[in-house]
Amino acid sequence: MIAIIDYGFGNKKSLSLALREIGVPFKVTDKKKDIDEASHIIFPGVGDFGSAIFSLKKKKIFNYLKKINKGKKQILGICLGMHLFFESSEESTNHKGLSLIKGKIKKFTKKDIIKIPNIGWYKIKGNKKKFNKKFYFLHSYFLDKNKNTISYITRNKMNISAIVKKKNLTGVQFHPERSGIDGLEFLKNFYYNEF
């Protein structure tokens, strides 16, 4: 079973529909017990970094989630969900992230791309395996390509992380739940195969 972490907002509905479509069991939850029982965890996308961290603290699961990568569960963070894995984000100076992976999420500036946010379907590259497909991106904040990056996109000569991986943690900047058949295939792969 996949536990989808509930911040109280976001597009968990889109994600739920996608998981239902591929026939994967899931539960949207903010309870430690459900998360403990799940084999997989997804931190969904869409939301503000500070508001999401604040919500996790209010629900008293922030400190619990800070150690979530210690077990054997496969964990996926989508867009904002991926950002939460890192130490901080320029989206919120008041809140530190879960700090499961070292690094800082940055804001696009007008120099980086012509229009902010970066919206559209981009073919990801760099991954030697099978996910060099087009996925849907919608974001104003990003992670530079670094040693944890296994796939990336290039916008205006900047390399932006598309997939990051560290042990049982996988973060994706794009939205697999909104990327058509290839996106559904990606989610299926997360559940049935170890990345």
Partner 1 sequence: MRIIPRIDIKKPNLIKSIHLEGLKKLGNPAKFLEKYFQEGADELLIIDCVASLYDQKPKFKFLNELTKNIFCPITIGGGIKTLDDAIKILNSGADKIAINSEAVKNPKIIKKISDIIGVQSVVVSIEVKKREKNIWEVFIENGREPTGINVYNWVEKLNSIGCGEILITSIDQEGTGKGFDIDLCKNISNIANCPVISSGGAGDILHIKNIKTQTKTSGVALSKFLHIQGNNVSNIKKQLKLS
Give contact residues for partner 1 (rule: CB under 8 A): 9-14, 17-18, 21, 46-48, 51, 80, 91, 110, 114-117, 119-121, 136, 138-140, 175, 177-181, 183-184
Query: Catalytic one among 40, 79, 91, 95?
Result: 79
Q: Is the CB of residue 44 less than 8 Å from the CB of residue 15? A: yes
CB of 67 to partner 1, least distance (A): 26
Active site residue 185: no
CA distance 76 to 82: 7
In the annotation, is 177 catalytic?
yes
Measuring CA to CA, which residue among 149, 71, 59 is closest to residue 103? 149
Tokens of 170: 């996988």
Q: Do the strands 158-166 and 149-155 form a parallel or antiparallel pair, or are they unpaired?
A: antiparallel
Nearer to partner 1, 27 or 165 (CB): 27
Quick one: 143 or 150, whose CB is closer to partner 1? 143
Q: How far is the CB of 72 from partner 1 (least distance, A)?
A: 29
Cα 168 to Cα 28: distance, rounded to the nearest angstrom = 20
Instruction: For residues 17 and 28, give the distance between their C-alpha atoms in angstroms, rounded to a whole number.
Output: 12
Q: How far is the CB of 115 from partner 1 (least distance, A)?
A: 4
Respond yes or no: is residue 21 known to be catalytic.
no
Q: Which residues are known catalytic residues?
A: 79, 175, 177
